[in-house]
Amino acid sequence: MSPSKRGSRWEILRLKLIGQKKIDGRPFSEIKLADLQPRHIAAWRDGRLREVAPASVSREMSLISHAFDVARKEWGWLATDPMRDVTRPADGPPRFRRIAPGEIEATLLALGYQEGKEVRYTSQRVAVAFLFAIETAMRSGEILGLTGMTVDFASRVAHLPLTKNGSARDVPLSTRAIELLGILPKVDAGQPLFNVNDKSRDQLFRRARDKAFPDMPEQARFTFHDTRHKAITRLAKKSLSSTWRE
C-alpha cells in the first residue's frame, strides 16, 4: 500500500524500523499474524517509549493500525484487530523548538556556507535551503520542489501546487528570499532550483548540526522542520510591527 501514498519513502522506512524491533527475543516482523496478540504490540509500544517521544509512538501505532485494517478488511488475513485492546500513550506537550541565532551560524559554517561566497557544493545548497526555510516558513519538501516555473520572480511569489494538506497555495517571497534563490547555481528550465533531494538534505543537515554541536543531548537537538517555529515567530513580529506603525 505504501508506494501509492505521498511520503511513501518515509513510510516504508518507518515500517522497516517497526519490524526490526525485537519482541520476546525476535524481530516484530517475524511474528506470524495468526500468533499476533495485543501483548506483542504492547511490548513493542513500551520498548519504543524508551527510545522516542509518546507522540512518535502514537504516530507509528497509527501506521501499524492501518496495516492491520487493510490485512483484516481487504485481504482477510486477520479475524480481529489486535490493536483494539492496546492503549496508546498519552500525547506529550507539542514540540516547540526555536533555533537560536548562534545555532544557525554554527550550522551554516558546518555546511560550508559563507555569506557572499559562491555556492558550489550540495552542502552549501542545503545551507541556502535552511536560510530560505527560516525566511519563508515553508516545509523542506515544498522548498526542494521549487522550480523556475513555480516561482514568479517578478511578483515575488512561490506557487505550491500540492502541499501537505493536499491543496495548492501561494507563498509571498521577501526580498531576502529572492536573494537566496538568486545565489543558487543555475539549473535547466523546469528542474528543481535547489537541485538536492530530501534524503540528501536530511543527511547533510543532521551531519552538519551534529558536527557543530557534538555534545548536544538528543532531546535538545533541533531539526530542519524547527525552522518553521523560527520563521513563524519572526513573521509574526514583523506583522505586529507593521500593525503598530499603521
Q: Given pLDDT bands bounded at 50, 70 and 90, which one contains residue 234? A: low
The predicted structure's pLDDT at residue 244: 41
Structure confidence at residue 1 as a pLDDT band (50, 70, 90) = confident
Considering only CA atoms, which of 53, 55, 59, 52 is closest in space to residue 7?
A: 59
Output the pLDDT for position 241. 46
Q: What is the mean pLDDT of the chain?
A: 87
pLDDT band at residue 246, thresholds of 50, 70 and 90?
very low
SS3 content of the chain, % helix, strand, coil (to 5): 55, 5, 40
Amino acid 68 reads F
What separation in angstroms does the CA of 125 have from each of 7, 91, 193, 245?
A: 22, 36, 10, 36
Which of 41-55, 181-195, 217-231 shows the lowest mean pLDDT across its residues? 217-231
Q: Vertex 6, ends 181 and 235: CA angle to 5°?
A: 40
Residue 95 has pLDDT above 70, yes or no: no
In the predicted structure, residue 225 carries a pLDDT above the cut 80 = yes
CA distance linking residue 153 with residue 181, whole number of Å: 9
Residue 23: count other Cβ atoms within 10 Å of its Cβ: 19
pLDDT for the residue numbered 64: 92
| DSSP count for the chain of H helices, then E strands | 9, 5
Burial class (CB in 10 A: 0-12, 13-18, 19+), 38: middle
Residue 2: its H or E element: none
Domain ranges of the chain: 2-73, 101-245
Cβ atoms of residues 204 and 111 within 8 Å: yes
Q: What is the pLDDT of residue 165?
A: 60
In this predicted model, which residue has the larger pLDDT, 125 or 242? 125
Query: Rounded CA gap, 51 and 22, in Å?
Result: 13
User: What is the amino acid identity at position 75?
Assistant: W
Q: How confident is the model at residue 93 (pLDDT cuts 50, 70, 90)?
A: low
In this structure, how many other beta carbons lie within 10 angstroms of the beta carbon of residue 129? 26
Neighbours of 210 (CB within 10 A): 14
pLDDT of residue 243: 37
Whole-model pTM: value is: 0.65
Cell, residue 90: 498519552
Smallest CA-to-CA distance from 108 within 83, 90, 126 is with 126
Please name the fold of domain 101-245.
Answer: hpI Integrase; Chain A (1.10.443)
3-state secondary structure at position 177 = helix
| Assigned C-alpha cell, 199 | 534524503
Q: State residue 191's pLDDT score.
A: 93
